[in-house]
Structure 1
């Protein structure tokens, strides 16, 4: 009987040892296979309109294509400031408090808010016209800060030339813009400079918010022969107000970017914001892999697209020359 009891106890002890060993092994395996930390990206957008939305989508699609799958490898916290600078600052501070790994700032105001909130977290910018004038970087070639990315600087001079090609009799050009947006001020100055060379006179009308865009556009009636809409976040967010005035008064409108042409302007020679977003994503991948934003030059989009909206031209009483239509990358009918 003693022998049987000893054997039984020995078997129990062995079983206990094996069980403990299995538990320890499983614990080690579990610890070793714990999921990697997800990269957290805060995305701040100044306002909701097609161009900026396209840049955001291009950025996310670009990171996905690079292997950063949303929900698995990376998570996005997307915030929209709705044109409110104080809200943009609150959003930026939230990202800092949340200790995100990277910030994407879409448009100049949100980029300025993010840069003011942190000099530690890497900031990628896009749809920012002049990062130097906005105080975001020390130079285009060598930012020298935690900020880099892509600029949406438009070929304003070429756009003025396009306006003259479409409407040769134009003498006075109205510009609706927000004087509080650095990016818009830069574009207006560029337009004024090129206008002098082309024999044109610029007439400015400012709107500090979207509700003032209609009044600004209306103030140009009888004073201008055409209207130019730069890539101004405030005006583009309320673009229909400008288009309505222009159609009613038969004033041709040339835009700074493609989405504005889709929404009723006659034409543009400009950038593709979706592609700009994807270009920014490539830079973000480099930063996530350890590259220093301070040493990464701000990039521009080299290829411009000529887009024409014949339906809009008809609504504004304009016949677009065949020379323009034939070389257009896209014609909206």
Structure 2
């Protein structure tokens, strides 16, 4: 006798749910990103996009396995404080913090959430980390400037205008990192035959244009714009004031020259945002911020704007044109 084999049939309505349950949805990790520029500013859009690009390359996708909360305009000190309180209360797993004022606010309000900072001047001198190699605590990231760059800015200004005698250093010297940068410029200027002076600019409500106009009236004047978040937010005002006073100025990075500024020398910020993604990835995978060394820029660029020079009724010397990484017409 041939026996028919037993066929075990499951109701079709039961099999599918069990298979689906065996493949749970991917967990979304939560991070926060604070950008110093205003929302909608091309610079802010570019910085956020560079970070997302770096995260995607490491397998982190918004809406799939990553939830990102954004805050903008942190160059304003009052807004930086509000952002810090708000996001610490939300308790993300990592905060990416752009700019010195925002990091200072987070240090006051946050005791345990890991922070990856981007574009912060002299984090050791400012007291944000213990050392570059071993930051300690819950904060690490990507610093921007060493004080020696102050001498480079002075030299470029002097090369553009050999008649220069006086230089205003525009920024918020109350922050320790910027104070160190300003101090190096003040110390280096006499060797180049220049007198440098601090010109404070600490809040958006200050009429910095009047101060710059008064400084320029004595003649032989130039301007160094420090890499503060507020200066970036107010770049059109600073560029306009320099043009109105026919005063040569050097700025810390590309967006100033793209907005009509004369020239810039500094790090490439988008590169730092892409590199910051690697630290976010490592912290989300279990490493401690305290064990991740603070890194410095590896890419610098010198940009000049020929139209801005013509507005000043000047021309760039051939040596500066040849040295420029990019010439904007």
TM-score range, shorter chain: 0.7 to 0.9
Tell me the residue number matched to 1:31.
21
Shift of 1:128: 0.4
Aligned match of 1:197 in 191, 200, 209?
A: 191
User: 153, 158, 161: which is aligned to 2:152?
Assistant: 158
- Corresponding residue of 1:128: 120
| 2:213 paired residue number | 218
Question: Are the counterparts in 2 of residues 137 and 144 from structure 1 also a CA contact under 8 Å?
Answer: yes
Structure 1: state its 5+ residue gaps. 1-13
What SS does structure 2 have at the residue aligned with 1:299? coil
Judging by fraction of residues, say which structure has more helix.
Answer: 1
Deviation digits for residues 225-271 of structure 1 (CA, Å, limit 9, x no counterpart): 21111112222211222222222221111111121111122112211
Structure 2 match to 1:137: 129
1:146 is aligned, of 130, 133, 138, to 138
Alpha-carbon contact 1:55-1:126 (below 8 Å) kept: no
Moved over 6 A (4+): none
5+ residue gaps, structure 2, are 1-7
What is the CA–CA distance in structure 2 between the aligned matches of 1:107 and 1:296, rounded to whole Å?
A: 19
1:3 maps to which residue?
none
Closer/same/farther in 2, CA of residues 324 and 281 from structure 1, 3 Å limit: same
CA–CA separation in structure 2 for the residues paired with 1:35 and 1:90: 34
Alpha-carbon shift at residue 204 of structure 1 (Å): 2.1
2:223 corresponds in structure 1 to: 227
Report how far residue 107 of structure 1 moved: 0.2
When the two chains are superposed, the root-mean-square deviation of aligned CA atoms in Å is: 2.2
Q: What TM-score do the two structures reach when normalised by structure 1?
A: 0.87
Does residue 272 (structure 1) correspond to residue 268 (structure 2)? The answer is: yes
User: Which region of structure 1 is more displaced relative to structure 2, 113-122 or 274-283?
Assistant: 113-122
| Alignment partner, residue 307 of structure 2 | 311
Aligned length in residues: 316
Distance of 1:149 and 1:268 partners within structure 2: 24
